Amino acid sequence: MTTLPISADQLSTPSVIANPYPYYHELREHSPLNYVFLPAGAVAGINEPIRAWALMRYADVYGALRNHDTFASSHSLAGKVVPRLALIHDDPPRHTRFRHLVNKAFTLKRIEALKPWIATVVNELVDHMAVSKESDIMQDYAIPLPVRVIARMLGIPGEDYVRFKLWSDTFLAFSSMTPEERAKSNQEMMAYFGQMAAARRTEGAEDLITALVEANVDGESLADTEIIGFCMLALIAGNETTTNLIGNMLGILVDRPDLWQQLRADRSLVDSVINETLRIESPFQRLSRITTRDTELSGVSIPQGSLVTIYYGAANRDPAEFPNPDEFRLDRDLRNHVAFGMGIHYCLGAPLAHAEASITLNALLDRFPVMQRGNIPAIRQTTSLMVYGYQQLPLRLLTSK
């Protein structure tokens, strides 16, 4: 085996987390399939460095996502330190049953019905930013919006969103907290959702938790522990990711005033902007699987029981699938990006995330002919290996040119 171009330690350095793309290209060019050292905390439940196969070619990522029998999601690693997450850490038949039940509650109709309320919150948040000369779009907008939306959907008071954010951050952060601190925060979150589920069993409401309590497929329904698991998943999988989609999209557009004007004139391009952002700056970067049998990818043998890391972010920049992958372009075929995964685990919240990004962009285009960078510099997040996004993104939204 030849030496890797980058070492394990480098993978977790702030500069690589802030911009992993040159390293993905280096690793992909070095070998179709690399066996890398992931730093401590890179896999949920593992607090020491661990070796894993790194899937960075589009064809391999696609192949593994489609072959869920061989590349399993439930493995003994999850649940050691952090709780197992429903769905994401499940395989069939458990996954199939759970997904059917959750699909009954988390419907397109529910998302559609929420859109007018999302638009109201969007305008409320934008109003606040519009009065000041410069706003950190992350703190003032991209963080609060998804938390308020999921809280509203679940039926939880909007004021609690600051606690939500803390729980979600704690779950994802790998370097800034002790295992004990993380466990305490996770227990608090589970207790909170447990109380919510119990309350909805006594008295229902017009919300997703009630729909989960009432969901029934062929006489089967969800236990409270499963509802708690789903709420945690929605909070964790849905917030940081949507926050980063919005931040990354605006971070790209602020440097493209030409495109801003084009979008103001032609809103049919909004969906392509969202999809191209998802491809080029994938908010969710990587997740692990475990092999249930000996297998092969790109001509390399992978033994049974191996940890495999799927790099959605790297696959979305594979030049073999997306020519000139580092260029933001609206004229490509974007149906194949894997930013929301693929196959049985395809993101349940994709339509919701898309709706939030679309309502956001349309509202900003309606109100502001000009968007500029602020004086304070933008800073990428550098603590989580899971996500790609900004820690701060100061912008100026101007009502006249």
Residues in contact with ligand HEM by the rule CB under 6 A:
73, 87-88, 99, 150, 233-234, 237-238, 241-242, 245, 283-284, 287, 312, 339-341, 345, 347-349, 352-353
Contact 307, 21 (CB under 8 A): no
> Which is closer to ligand HEM, CB of 42 or CB of 87?
87
Q: How many CB atoms neighbour CB 266 within 10 A?
A: 9
Query: Which residue lies nearer to ligand HEM by CB, 4 or 142?
Result: 142
First to last CA, the chain: 58
Cβ-contact 337, 330 below 8 angstroms? no
Tokens coding 5 = 């171009």
4 vs 231 by CB, closer to ligand HEM: 231
Q: How far is the CB of 178 from ligand HEM (least distance, A)?
A: 27
CB of 102 to ligand HEM, least distance (A): 7
Residue with smaller CB distance to ligand HEM, 21 or 369: 21
CB of 182 to ligand HEM, least distance (A): 21
What CA–CA distance (Å, rounded) separates 24 from 13? 14
Which CA distances in Å does 164 have to 156, 230, 303, 332? Answer: 10, 14, 40, 37
Min CB(125)–ligand HEM separation in Å: 17
Nearest approach, Cβ of residue 141 and ligand HEM (Å): 15
CB 140 within 8 A of CB 130: no
Dist. CA 205–CA 203, nearest whole Å: 7
Burial of 320 (0-12, 13-18, 19+ CB in 10 A): exposed
Report the DSSP pairing between strands 286-291 and 71-72: antiparallel
Beta carbon of residue 389, minimum distance to ligand HEM (angstroms, whole number)? 10
Q: What is the DSSP letter of 83?
A: P
Q: How far is the CB of 150 from ligand HEM (least distance, A)?
A: 5
Judged by CB, which is closer to ligand HEM: 30, or 163?
163
Nearer to ligand HEM, 87 or 209 (CB): 87
CB 291 within 8 A of CB 390: no
Smallest gap from residue 401 Cβ to ligand HEM (A):
31
Based on the number of CB atoms within 10 Å of its own CB, is 67 exposed (0-12), middle (13-18) or buried (19 or more)?
Answer: middle
In the bound state with ligand HEM, the residue whose beta carbon lies nearer, of 4 and 164, is: 164
Residue type, 162: V
The residues near 212 (Cβ < 8 Å, ≥ 6 apart) are: 101, 102, 105, 197, 222, 227, 230
Our CB check for ligand HEM shows the closer of 352 and 395 to be 352
